[in-house]
Amino acid sequence: MRKLTLFLALMCLLGLQAAFAQRTITGKITSSEDKLGIPGATVLVKGTTVGVISDANGNFTLQVPKDKNILLISFVGMKTVQLTLGESNVVNVELSPEAQALEGVVITALGISREKKSLGYSVQNVSGEDLIKTRGEANFINTLSGRIAGVQVTGASGTMGGSSRILIRGVNSVSGNNQPLFVIDGIPIDNSDFNSTNTARGGGGFDYGNMAQDVNADDIESVSVLKGPNAAALYGSRAANGVILITTKKGKQAKGGGIGVTWNSSVTFDRVAMLPTYQNKYGGGTIYTGEDGKDGFAPGPVVNDVQMYVPDFYTDESWGPKYDPNIMVLAWNSFDEWDTENYLKPKPWVAPENDVIDFFKTGVGFNNTVSFTGATAVSNFRLSYSNLDADGYMPNSKQNKNTISFNGSTDLSDRLKAFTTFNYVKTVYVGRPETGYGDNNPMVRFNQWGQRQLDMEEMKAYLNPDGSQRTWNRTAWDDPTPVYSNNPYWSRYKDYQDDERNRYFGNVGLSYQICPSIRLQGKVNADYYNFRVRERIAIGSAFLSSYSEYLRENTEINSELMAFFNRNLSEKISLNATAGLNQMTRKYFRNGGATQGGLVLAGLYTLANSAVPASVDDYSNQKRINSILGSASFGYNNRLYLDLTGRNDWASTLPEDKNSYFYPSATVSFLLSELNYLKNFKPLSFAKVRVGWAQVGNDTDPYRLLNYYLANDNFGEYSSYRLPTTLNNDKLKPEITTSLEFGAELIFLNNRLGLDITYYDKSSKNQIIPVPTSSATGYRYQIVNAGEITNKGIEIALNTTPVKLNNGFQWDLNFNWAKNENMVVELAEGVNTYLLGSLFGIEVHAEEGKPYGSIRGYTYVTDDKGNKIVGTNGRYIQSTTIKSVGSVLPDWNMGISNTLKYKNWDFGFFFDIQKGGSLFSLTHMWGMYSGILEETAALNDKGNEMRDAVADGGGVLNQGVYGKLDADGNVVYLNPDGSTSEVPVANSTYVSALTWAADHYSRARASKNTFGADYIKLREIRLGYNLPSKYLGPIQKASVGVYARNLATWGLKNQHVDPESVTSAGNIQGIEGGQLPPLRSFGINLVLSF
Amino acid sequence: MKRISIFLIFLVSLTLMLGCTKDFDKFSENPNDPQQVSTGFILTYAQKYLMDNMRDEWFGGRCTFLLSQYWAQNNYTDEDRYLFRTTVTDAQWRYFYLGLMNLRDIVRLNTDEETKNDALANGANENQIAVANILTAYIMQIVTDTWGDVPFTQALLGNENQTPVYDKQSSIYPALITMLKDAAAMIDLNKDGIKSGDIIYNGDMALWKKFANSLRLRIALRMKAKDPAPFNEVVALGPDALIASNDEIAAFKYVGVAPNNGPLYDAWFTENRNDFTMSKPFVDLLKGVNDTLNSKTNPFTGIFDPRLPIFCTPVNGEYLGMPYGMTDSDTKAYAANCPNFKNDPSVVQASDFSYVLMDYAEVCFILSEANGWDQTWYANGVEASLEWWGVAAGDIATYMAALPAANQERVLTQKYIALYPQGEQGWFEYRRTGFPHTLVHPGEITHVGTSGNIIFTPLEGNQIPRRLLYPIEEQGVNANSYAAAVAQMGGDTQDINVWWAQ
User: Mind listing the pLDDT tens digit for each residue in A621-667?
Assistant: 999 999 999 999 998 887 899 999 999 999 999 998 888 999 999 99
Angle B205-222/B125-147 helices, nearest 10 degrees?
A: 30
User: Is the Cβ–Cβ distance between A26 and A60 less than 8 Å?
Assistant: yes
Q: How deeply is A793 buried, as exposed, middle or buried, from its count of CB atoms within 10 A (0-12, 13-18, 19+)?
A: buried
Distance CA A1014, CA A1052 (A): 6
What was the ipTM of the complex prediction?
Answer: 0.94
User: What percent of chain A has pLDDT above 70?
Assistant: 95
pLDDT for the residue A104 = 64
Query: Does any CB of chain B come closer than 8 Å to the CB of residue A1002?
Result: yes
Q: What torsion, rounded to 10 degrees, do the Cα atoms A166, A171, A173, A177 define?
A: 0
Q: How far is B182 from chain A (nearest CA, A)?
A: 23
Partnered with residue A403 across adjacent β-strands are: A386, A425
Compute the average pLDDT of residues B437-450: 93
The alpha carbon of residue A410 is apart from the nearest alpha carbon of chain B, in Å, by 13
- By the 8 A CB rule, do A754 and A748 touch? yes
Number of CB pairs, chain A paired with chain B, less than 8 A apart: 267
Q: Which residue has the higher pLDDT, B363 or A146?
A: B363
B371 CA: distance to closest CA in chain A (Å): 38
- Nearest CA to CA, how far is A532 from chain B (Å)? 21
| A55, A43 contact by CB (below 8 A) | no
CA dist list (Å): B482 to A781, A1014, B147, B475, B477: 18, 37, 12, 6, 9
Which tens digit of pLDDT belongs to each residue from A357-386? 999 999 999 999 999 988 887 888 999 999
Confidence band, pLDDT 50/70/90 cuts, at residue A186: confident
Taking only the tens place, the pLDDT of each residue in B205-233 is: 999 999 999 999 999 999 999 999 999 99
Four-residue CA torsion sign, A1053, A1055, A1057, A1061: positive
Candidates B51, B255, B352, B477: best to mutate against A (most CBs of A within 10 A) is B477
What pLDDT is recorded for position B10?
Answer: 55
DSSP state, A15? H
Contacts of B79 in chain A (CB under 8 A): none
Question: What is the predicted pLDDT for the residue at B11?
Answer: 58
Per-residue pLDDT band at A20 (split at 50, 70, 90): very low
Element (H, E) at A420: strand A416-430
Report helix angle B360-370 to B205-222, nearest 10. 40
Q: What is residue A99's predicted lDDT score, i.e. its pLDDT?
A: 44
Write out pLDDT tens, residues A249-266: 887 766 666 788 999 999
User: CA-to-CA distance for A57 and A59, rounded, in angstroms?
Assistant: 6
In this prediction the pTM is: 0.84
B471 Cα to chain A: minimum distance (Å): 10
User: What per-residue confidence (pLDDT) applies to A311?
Assistant: 96
Residues of chain B in contact with residue A289, where contact means CB-CB under 8 angstroms, are 329-330, 332-333, 449-451
List Cβ neighbours of B77 (8 Å cut-off, separation of 6 or more): B325, B326, B327, B328, B331
Pairing between β-strand B452-455 and β-strand A398-411 as defined by DSSP bridges = unpaired
CB B18 to CB A626 under 8 A?
Answer: yes
Q: What is the pLDDT of residue B13?
A: 56
User: To the nearest whole angstrom, how far is the Cα of A955 from the nearest Cα of chain B?
Assistant: 17
* CA pair distance B347, A271, nearest whole angstrom: 52
Supply the pLDDT for residue A128: 72
- Chain A contacts of B30, Cβ < 8 Å? 621, 702-703, 706, 708
Query: How far is Cα A183 from Cα A189, in angstroms, rounded to an integer?
Result: 6
pLDDT digits (tens, 9 = 90+) for A1034-1081: 788 888 999 998 999 999 999 999 998 888 888 888 999 999 999 999
Whether residue A291 has pLDDT greater than 90? no
What is the distance between the alpha carbons of residues A778 and B107, in angstroms, rounded to a whole number?
14
Q: What is the pLDDT of residue A440?
A: 94
Asked if A719 and B162 come within 8 Å (Cβ–Cβ), the reply is no
Q: Alpha-carbon distance A546 to A606, whole Å?
A: 10
Question: What pLDDT does residue A87 have?
Answer: 81
Q: What does the pLDDT read at residue A678?
A: 80
Closest CA to B42 of B91, B104, B94: B104
**Does A703 contact B451 at a Cβ distance shorter than 8 Å?**
no
Neighbours of A193 (CB within 10 A): 19
Angstrom distance (rounded) from CA A408 to CA A380: 5
Hey, is B268 helix, strand or coil? Answer: helix
Identify which of B21, B27, B33 has the shortest CB distance to residue A710: B33
Average pLDDT over residues A799-806: 92
User: Which residues lie below 8 Å from residue A250, measured CB to CB, with a gap of 6+?
Assistant: A39, A40, A221, A373, A380, A382, A407
> Please, which residues bridge with residue A61 across strands?
A26
Q: Is residue A978 helix, strand or coil?
A: coil
In angstroms and rounded to an integer, the radius of gyration of the C-alpha atoms of chain A is 32
Q: Are A625 and B28 in contact (CB under 8 A)?
A: no
The predicted pLDDT at position A739 comes to 93
pLDDT for position A804 = 92
- For range B331-345, the mean pLDDT: 90
For residue A176, give the 3-state DSSP assignment: coil
- pLDDT on residue A380: 87
pLDDT tens, position by position, B228-243: 999 999 999 999 999 9
Query: Which of A718, A783, A922, A925 should we substitute to test contact with B (largest number of B Cβ atoms within 10 Å)?
Result: A718
Residue A478, chain B, CB below 8 Å: the answer is: no
- The whole-number pLDDT of residue A4 equals 46
- A233-237, A502-506, A926-930, B183-187, range with the lowest pLDDT: A233-237
Q: Using 50, 70 and 90 to split pLDDT, how confident is the model at A422?
A: very high
Task: Say whether B332 and A315 touch across the interface (CB within 8 A).
Answer: yes
Please state the rounded mean pLDDT for residues B373-391. 98
Q: Which of A170-174, A522-526, A833-837 has the highest mean pLDDT?
A: A522-526
Nearest to A522 among B14, B32, B161 (CB): B14
DSSP at A533: E
Residue A1000 pLDDT > 60, yes or no?
yes
Q: What is the pLDDT of residue B229?
A: 97
DSSP string, A135-163: TT-SSGGGGGTTTSTTEEEEEPSS-SS--
* pLDDT attached to residue B9: 57
* Nearest Cβ partner for B329 among A287, A622, A626: A287
CA dihedral B420, B423, B425, B428 (to 10 degrees): 130
Average pLDDT, rounded, for chain A? 89
Q: Do A1002 and B459 touch (CB under 8 A)?
A: yes
Other CB atoms within 10 A of residue A508 CB:
14
pLDDT band for position A419 (cuts 50, 70, 90): very high
Residue of higher predicted confidence among A14 and A734:
A734
Q: What is the pLDDT of residue A639?
A: 86
Residue A105 has pLDDT above 90, yes or no: no
State the DSSP code for A945.
B
Mutate which of A478, A612, A720 to test chain B, going by most B C-beta atoms within 10 A? A720
Q: Which residues of B touch A845 (CB under 8 A)?
A: 476
The β-bridge relationship of strands A90-95 and A22-31 is parallel
pLDDT of residue A131: 67
Largest CA distance in chain B: 110
φ, ψ of residue A95 to 5 degrees: the values are -105, 140
8 Å CB contact between A848 and A825 = yes
Task: Check residues A11 and A51 and name the one with the higher pLDDT.
Answer: A51
Query: Cβ neighbours of residue A505 under 8 Å, at least 6 residues apart?
Result: A184, A187, A189, A423, A525, A526, A527, A528
* pLDDT(A980) > 50: yes
Chain A, window 739-798: residues with a beta carbon less than 8 angstroms from a chain B beta carbon: 772-780, 782
Secondary structure of residue A333 in the 3-state scheme: coil
C-alpha A522/C-alpha B56 separation (Å) is 60
